[in-house]
Chains A and B, each alone.
Chain A
Amino acid sequence: MIEVKNLYKHFGTVKAVDGVSFKARDGEITGLLGPNGAGKTTTLRMLYTLMHPDQGQVLVDGIDVARDAQAVRRQLGVLPDARGLYKRLTANENIDYFGRLQGMDEALIRMRREQLIAALEMADIANRRTEGFSQGQRVKTAIARALVHDPRNVILDEPTNGLDVMATRGLRQFMRRLKEEGRCVLFSSHIMQEVAALCDRIVVIAHGRVVADDTPDALRTQTGEANLEDAFVKIIGSEEGLAA
């Protein structure tokens, strides 16, 4: 479970995150929806301890990020906005490297790697160097690498960005599977179809603030719009930066 309480992060005069609070529960998929530049990536970066909040608190499974960042990182599987694979290593070697950095022993790493490779259907590329991988192959490798230590909480920053229809479908199935395994899945997106199709709960962010936080159905009722797209436009107050 991930709890975010009143988070602030400013860069100079730019208020990237300006008082964000929400909860992402275990066994649920929580979508962080917002237009480009709304503060999604910055918020997530504070969750996985790459950035320090100016103010506010983040709790992952009850552990305070400010108190024990390393313990928090052990509870998290992170697919950052920057996928950055090591192109002179094979997909397997990329995964193993992160497994070792997580402190896992070799047998366990091998077992988890095989599981993930099967689940992500990437056996055909596992022994290839990642140089020249397609966008979809890269995302798969990056996800396998991020989840090798079997984390309770999974953070995915725009996971379907740049993927074709088939790859996107596959990835959605994989995320549902993570949810069924009882994990807490938090992902960001600026594509509402995706959020609507996947999420148990939607947190809408605009201009660094949370403007809505509810189930898809409740959002529809709340705004009085039957169509989710119209509901979002009403919540955010403009159509800027959202994709259908």
Chain B
Amino acid sequence: MRTTLTVFLKEVKENLRDKRTVLSALLYGPLIGPIIFVMIINTVLTRELNKADQPIKVPVIGAQYAPNLIEALKQQGFVPEPPVANPEAAVREQDADVVLRIPADFGQSWRKGETAQVELIYDSSQRETGGSVERMKGMLEAFARRQGAMRLVARGLSPTMMAPVSIDERDQSTPQSRAGQMFAILPYFFVLTIFMGGMYLSIDLTAGERERQSLEPLFANPVARWKVLLGKLGAICMFSLTSLLICVVGFGVCGRFIPAEKLGMVLNLGPSFALQVLLMMFPLILLLASLQTLVAAFAKSYREAQTYLGILMLVPALPSILLSILPVREADWMYAVPLLGQQVGITQLLRGGEPTSAQIAMCVISGLIVAMLATLVTARVYQSERLAISA
């Protein structure tokens, strides 16, 4: 116990003196996530919201063929712009979100009571124009429905003839659940923070110490290697835990600057959320510290360890990516799989659902078991003769 504590205190002290480690574990690592996240979300939301409120400007070709239509659209916030010469190119070049073209025979068909055609020219591969196109379509459809109803009335028929079935949508999503869908990437940020918080330390304490040739004198002391390992793991966990704490608090503060309510969403990143995240993430702190040390123990140099850990960093992203591509239904067994369990659990929290205490317990216990196995394997590798020998 004393050995472990001695190693732990020395490693913490030594690494607190290293500017790069401190900055990356306690500043960039944990804060970059929340800040970037808020910036991106804010930019996207602000643009979308602005678009929805503002009048929609659309170049119109052949406006003179349908003055009534244009007048009716204007009342819905439509601002006709002068025609463009080549609408297809204009849309592709993003000079216009959408172009409305009214053919010369519009008036003729209208008067005959036939279906008169208008064309909407847009590029659906340009995602940010989708909002404008939807609004334009909505306006045209509203106009068409109203005119259709008036024609039926003029002929003495009920407008309900046109609508044998009416659809009444009852969306069961809550403001929170919509937010959960939108912020599904959040759990990965937490995992990444733990990873970054411990990374420099885990490289330094094994591969780095071997490269600087201090592992050999260290192991000449009358102490069991696994005790030394535990001290080192403790120091790594200390740093990644601090990193995670800063990150969770950072999200709590930054979350206030996300105008989620304007989208009809609720984003709750407050203390109760933070506590449950910390609880579920705790086994991952141990697990990642062991895995990082294990990988670093196999590397011959600091650089090699950095390369390996860069690859290992992608592994925790897998559950996030998988769940966003394959919308799998959440199931109890998922909580028993480390990383996946945290992903599912935190997503659930964001959606406003409460994971049951059984689910959280399963998540924590399974994580601890796997972390313990990883530590045992690492301890075995620490026993090997090759580990200490640097030259």
Contact = CB atoms under 8 A, between A and B. Distances in A.
Interface in A19-78: 45, 48-52, 70-71, 73-74, 76, 78
B220 A50 contact: yes
Interface stretch (B221-229, B284-292, B370-378): B221-229
Contacts of A110: none
Contacts of A88: 14-15, 17-18
Bin the interface of chain A by size: 20 to 34
Contacts of B212: 84, 87
Contact of B216 (A73, A76, A82, A86): A82
Nearest to B6: A100
Contacts of A70: 222-224
Nearest to A69: B222
Interface stretch (B73-81, B348-356, B382-390): B382-390
B301 to A, nearest CB: 14
Interface string A158-176: 0000000000000000000
Contact of B214 (A73, A85, A103): A85
Contacts of A244: none
B19 to A, nearest CB: 10
Contacts of A74: 222
Contact of A82 (B15, B217, B221, B385): B217
A212 to B, nearest CB: 27
A144 B338 CA distance: 46
B137 to A, nearest CB: 65
A85 B17 CA distance: 15
A222 B17 CA distance: 58
Nearest to A76: B220
Contacts of A133: none
B2 interface: yes
Interface residues of B, number: 29
B213 interface: yes
A71 B14 CA distance: 29
B8 to A, nearest CB: 11
B2 A82 contact: no
B391 interface: yes
B249 interface: no
A185 to B, nearest CB: 16
Interface in B1-41: 2-3, 6-7, 10, 13-15, 17-18
B257 interface: no
A218 B6 CA distance: 49
A100 B2 CA distance: 8
Nearest to A100: B6
B220 A78 contact: yes
B219 A84 contact: no
Nearest to A41: B391
A79 B214 CA distance: 11
B317 interface: no
Contact of A80 (B14, B209, B220, B222): B220
B217 A73 contact: no
Given A88-B18, A101-B6, A103-B2, A71 B222 contact: yes
Contacts of B10: 86, 89, 93, 97
Interface in B304-325: none
B215 interface: yes
A80 B2 contact: no
Given A88-B14, A88-B17, A88-B18, A82 B391 contact: yes
B20 to A, nearest CB: 11
Nearest to A49: B220
Nearest to A74: B222
Nearest to B388: A50
Contact of A73 (B13, B215, B220): B220
8 contacts: A52-B385, A80-B216, A80-B217, A84-B213, A101-B218, A102-B221, A102-B222, A146-B220
